[in-house]
Amino acid sequence: MADLQFENERPLDGITVVITRARAQAASFADELERLGARAIICPTIEIVEPESYAELDQAIENLYGYDWIIFTSVNGVNYFLRRFEALGHEVGELDDLHVLAIGEATSVRLRDAFIHVDIVPEKFKAEGALRALEEYLGGREALNRLNFLLPRAAVARDTLPDALAEAGARVDDVTAYRTVRPKTTERARVKAMFAGGAVDCITFTSSSSVINFAQLFDTMDLSQLLKGVTVACIGDVTAATVTEYGLRTQIIPREFTVPAMIRAMVEYYSARKEEEQG
């Protein structure tokens, strides 16, 4: 993650932030927050693991010639697809004949780092944005009819995108490339004590799974008491909607669905609060 620049070098000074991302993905997030003055506490509520079976993914990989497009919705999807792709003896050059759509700049960068071309990066990160970008690229929705799409992603994911493509007449193979599960070890006791003592200022959720698993970690369907007085930051309105289901209100939501945008939104939020307090 590139260093973000702000007029105040430590705009998050004195702010304690709990990060609920998978541990492997939380490190760079935490480093950037601490560089900006915050204290970052990593409390992973999800872990990214291999699928229970590679059967569907293997079949798709061995029959790549049958697809027109491959859509990657996350960096995790790219990583686990390529890991299996290479394990089966394939090379990235075999993807040259497919069109590639990447949802999110981070996903696009990961693909390009692997020397995989990217045809489309939708401006909007949701399914509607992907569909609109495809329509513009192809010259209309009718061009989607009978095209074949491969969608390697998480085992439990929203059906909005494949459903929209299917409705437009496309054929979609939505295959599992990885799973998100609750970690076996957690910081539950330590984090609960920090919340109870009022030591946490902000908690970040980057997916609905992180919200659900956090609530399960504390065996509750109502997080309002546990997180009383804690500012909630979410990536995406879907995550924010899940937060609402657990009795919370989202105060920080970035315009773009990325971690750097989340950090910018946090800086804007706390800078505005400090100005109000001083004014």
Is the model's pTM score more than 0.95? Answer: no
In three-state secondary structure terms, 158 is coil
| Stretch 80-105: mean pLDDT | 95
**Distance of alpha carbon 79 from alpha carbon 72, whole angstroms:** 10
CB 254 within 8 A of CB 262: yes
Flag whether pLDDT at 107 surpasses 70.
Answer: yes
pLDDT in tens, 15-27: 999 999 888 889 9
CB 232 within 8 A of CB 250: yes
Work out the mean pLDDT of the chain and round it to a whole number. Answer: 90
Structural domains in the chain? Answer: 16-46+183-278 (3.40.50.10090), 49-180 (3.40.50.10090)
CB 224 within 8 A of CB 195: no
Residue 207 makes CB contacts below 8 A (sequence gap 6+) with: 46, 180, 235, 236, 239
Which three-class secondary structure string do you get for 72-129? ECCHHHHHHHHHHHHHCCCCHHHHCCCEEEECCHHHHHHHHHCCCCCCECCCCCCHHH
How high is the pLDDT of residue 13? 93
pLDDT in tens, 132-161: 999 999 999 999 999 999 999 988 766 788
Flag whether pLDDT at 190 surpasses 90.
Answer: no
The backbone torsions φ and ψ at residue 139, rounded to the nearest 5 degrees and listed phi first, read 90, 25
Burial of 175 (0-12, 13-18, 19+ CB in 10 A): buried
Radius of gyration of the chain (CA): 20
